[in-house]
Amino acid sequence: MNNVFGNKRAVLVFVGPALLVYSAVMLVPVLWSLGYTFFTGSVITGFKFAGFDNFTKLLSDPKAGDALLFTLKYAVILTVGQVLVGYALSLLYVFWLRKASSLVRTLVFFPIVLPTVAVSLLFQKMFEVAPQNGIVNEFLNLFGIASVDWFGSADTAFLVLVIMDIWRSMGFYAVLLYAGLLDIPEEVMESARLDGAGGLTLIRRIVIPLSLPVLLSSIIFSINGTLKVFDSVLALTNGGPGSSTTPLTLLMFRTAFSYGDYGYGSTIALALTLICLLVTIFIFRSSRRDLTKA
Amino acid sequence: MTVTASAPARVSSSANAARPVRRRRRMTPRRALDVTLKTLVIGLLLAVTVLPLIWLLLGSLKTQTEWLNNPSWALPENFLNFENYATAWVDGDIGRYILNSALATFPSLALIVVLGVAAGFALEVLVWRGRGGVLLLFLAGIMVPGQMILLPLFSAYFQTHLTGTIWPLILTYTATGLPLTVFMMATYFRAVPREIFEAAAIDGASIYRSFWSIGFPMVQNAVFTVALVQFFFIWNDLLIALTFTSVGDYQTIQVGLLNFTGQFGAVQYGPTFAAIAINVVGILALYLFLNQRVMRGLTAGSVKG
């Protein structure tokens, strides 16, 4: 039987093609990209060796600093927002709506499957101020509040971006966390109730600690996704006004394709990858320490 | 597939507790308040999710004069005015963009499924040295941001004269889809009892036969779920499509839509709304049809961390 399962040729036949495509189109380019960080230029203009210039440039470039700050700000605010709103919804589903929640779950989930570009363009029109007020401004006018030029200033543009992305993802995180809440053993809940825990105490003392693992994986997933934000920014604000809503991903894209500097672009991409890695490890580590303490 | 499949077990006990109250037929003020509050919250939640889409669909039926002269919340004067859709489809070339998206998406999906299922099978059912390492290698790919591979790929496609064809899209989508697919398929194959494959081997089935007649049919459902998840990723992708279709005629629907507003955006409301609606409605129909599977697939794909 070992002949059947240990058949070397079969291994090659089954895993070989996938490994080949994966290596050629992902692993090799990652290494190649590392090589680019020591060069300047592009495939069209030709490359020139630049030593560590790209790295020193990255550290002193105010644009890169702004983009990094924006990326971190967006990632932190959106991760907190997504997971909090998602968690609130999932608690709502489990403890309040109960059986009635399936339809609500299904409907609130759907924005995540819609194309980001389409959603962004829709939100652009919803928050529009000229030549026509979108429904958001019309709604504000209803209460006597003057129309706001949402995409005219950095803060309001950022706000619209956050609102849109939470709208898109809250149902997804709700379902993700809902599955975790269902895993809490019924006996634990029941005995806590018998001991007199109700409402908020039950949630604070039993539900939150017991759903910590799934909360943690949601946070890691969310932060990894939000650090790489690209589609929604490009389609909604295109980085503007000015470059006030430009994350690292968009800066990298512009550097490489508008200014034709693959070397610096790759350096930014590398920085982004390292940040993702560090943040993931950091969250993982700090959570483990907390768990052993408790 | 029922929607209530995963209703929590604890629901029954609390529902029982509430029943005597309901039997009295007359609502106590407390219960009435509870019901009102619930209805309000559900209503608000659904309004927030669904209203933007309704506004989109209504907006796609309004003419340019209606857009400019009436407030943006006004209903269309003629609910059967599909002119905007015709404009988007013919002048906006939406039909061609959708065709391009299909040309990129479905071959990629086929490749992802074939390669990913086979690799998952080899990594979980076959016994060989280094399979743990290879699985880790695939897993590492989930973490890598797309930006990391774009530039080398752009150079490579440029030098092999693939730029401007559909191949850069198919190759890149296949490779970026593989890590998650391999990982998910390995997980699904783990759930299949080994004894089944061993029994087949004793009966004289070769490993290829085992895969084709036993392994693949047993994970068929999972394969469909995985393919569905990848479909959404690829169809909705902007980064890769934007990078590799800047030249040539293979712009996907997402890139096309982005350019579409560039062309008409500020001036032509109706066609823009119709173009967005075309892009949204198809995906929405697919979701409504397969919602439980999509929800399960997408959330399963995220636990990878």
- B149 in contact with A at a CB cutoff of 8 Å? yes
pLDDT for position A81: 94
Tell me which residue of A249, A269, A195 sits closest to A74, measured CA to CA.
A249
The beta-carbon neighbor of A4 closest among B50, B201, B291 is B201
Query: A261 by DSSP, 3-state: which?
Result: coil
Query: CB count, 10 Å around CB of A154?
Result: 16
Separation CA B59–CA B208 (nearest Å): 55
The full set of domains in chain B, from first to last, is 18-83 (no CATH), 88-300 (1.10.3720.10)
Query: CB count, 10 Å around CB of A213?
Result: 12
pLDDT for position B101: 92
Q: Which of A104, A114, A218, A222 to mutate to test the interface with B (most CBs of B within 10 A)?
A: A114
Lowest mean pLDDT among A77-81, A262-266, B92-96: B92-96
CB A241 within 8 A of CB A157: yes
The beta-carbon neighbor of B8 closest among A14, A100, A182 is A182
Which of the pair, B12 or A16, is modelled with greater confidence? A16
The beta-carbon neighbor of A273 closest among B11, B41, B144 is B144
State whether B68 and A171 contact (CB < 8 Å).
Answer: no
Instruction: Identify the closest residue of chain A to B276 by CA–CA distance.
Output: A118
State whether B128 and A8 contact (CB < 8 Å).
Answer: yes
Count interface pairs A-B at CB distance under 8 A: 301
pLDDT for position B22: 47
The beta-carbon neighbor of B276 closest among A5, A113, A121 is A121
Separation CA A170–CA A157 (nearest Å): 20
CB A283 within 8 A of CB A76: no
> Min CA distance, B134 vs chain A (Å)?
8
State whether A182 and B273 contact (CB < 8 Å).
Answer: no
Separation CA A158–CA A155 (nearest Å): 5
Query: A253 by DSSP, 3-state: which?
Result: helix
The answer for B 215-234 residues in CB contact with A (under 8 A) is: 232
Separation CA B261–CA B92 (nearest Å): 10
Tell me which residue of B266, B251, B261, B264 sits closest to B95, measured CA to CA.
B251
Separation CA B49–CA A81 (nearest Å): 16
Separation CA A181–CA B160 (nearest Å): 51
Q: B246: which chain A residues are within 8 Å (Cβ-Cβ)? A: 257
Instruction: Identify the closest residue of chain A to B175 by CA–CA distance.
Output: A22
Q: How confident is the model at residue A290 (pLDDT cuts 50, 70, 90)?
A: low
The beta-carbon neighbor of A5 closest among B119, B125, B304 is B125
Has residue B5 got a pLDDT over 50? no
pLDDT for position A91: 87
State whether A8 and B294 contact (CB < 8 Å).
Answer: no
Q: What is the mean pLDDT of residues B28-37?
A: 81
Lowest mean pLDDT among A119-123, B167-171, B189-193: B189-193
State whether A231 and B134 contact (CB < 8 Å).
Answer: no
Lowest mean pLDDT among A99-113, A241-255, B96-110: A99-113
The beta-carbon neighbor of B9 closest among A96, A138, A186 is A186
**Domain A53-293 CATH class label:** mainly alpha
Q: How confident is the model at residue B41 (pLDDT cuts 50, 70, 90)?
A: confident
Tell me which residue of A258, A280, A256, A277 sits closest to A267, measured CA to CA.
A256
State whether A25 and B174 contact (CB < 8 Å).
Answer: yes
Tell me which residue of A211, A9, A191 sits closest to A90, measured CA to CA.
A211
Which residue ranges make up each domain of chain A? 53-293
In this predicted model, what pLDDT tens digit does every residue of A44-73 receive, in sequence order? 777 888 778 888 888 888 888 889 999 999
* Cβ density class A36-60: b for 16+ within 10 Å, e for less: bbbbbbbbeeebeebeebbeebbee
- B210 in contact with A at a CB cutoff of 8 Å? yes
Question: Which residues, including other chains, have CB under 8 Å from residue B70's CB and lie 6 or more apart?
Answer: B62
CB B267 within 8 A of CB B200: no
Separation CA B152–CA A35 (nearest Å): 10
- B279 in contact with A at a CB cutoff of 8 Å? yes
In this predicted model, what pLDDT tens digit does every residue of B238-291 receive, in sequence order? 999 988 887 768 888 888 888 876 555 456 788 888 888 988 988 988 888 888
The answer for B 80-109 residues in CB contact with A (under 8 A) is: none
> Min CA distance, A214 vs chain B (Å)?
8
State whether A18 and B149 contact (CB < 8 Å).
Answer: no
Separation CA B229–CA A172 (nearest Å): 13
pLDDT for position B266: 56
Q: A4: which chain B residues are within 8 Å (Cβ-Cβ)? A: 201, 205-207, 210
In this predicted model, what pLDDT tens digit does every residue of A188-220 receive, in sequence order? 878 888 887 777 787 788 888 888 888 888 888
Has residue A100 got a pLDDT over 80? no
pLDDT for position B27: 65
How many residues does the structure list for chain B?
A: 305
Q: In 3-state terms, chain A is what percent helix, strand and coil (to 5)?
A: 80, 5, 20
The beta-carbon neighbor of A134 closest among B72, B151, B235 is B72
Separation CA B128–CA B130 (nearest Å): 6
State whether A107 and B50 contact (CB < 8 Å).
Answer: yes
State whether B38 and A96 contact (CB < 8 Å).
Answer: yes
Lowest mean pLDDT among A113-127, B66-80, B164-178: B66-80
Separation CA A269–CA A275 (nearest Å): 10
Q: A44: which chain B residues are within 8 Å (Cβ-Cβ)? A: 158
Question: Which residues, including other chains, have CB under 8 Å from residue A76's CB and lie 6 or more apart?
Answer: A223
Q: Tokens representing A267?
A: 């350096």
Lowest mean pLDDT among A28-37, A63-72, A188-197, B99-108: A188-197
> Min CA distance, B100 vs chain A (Å)?
16
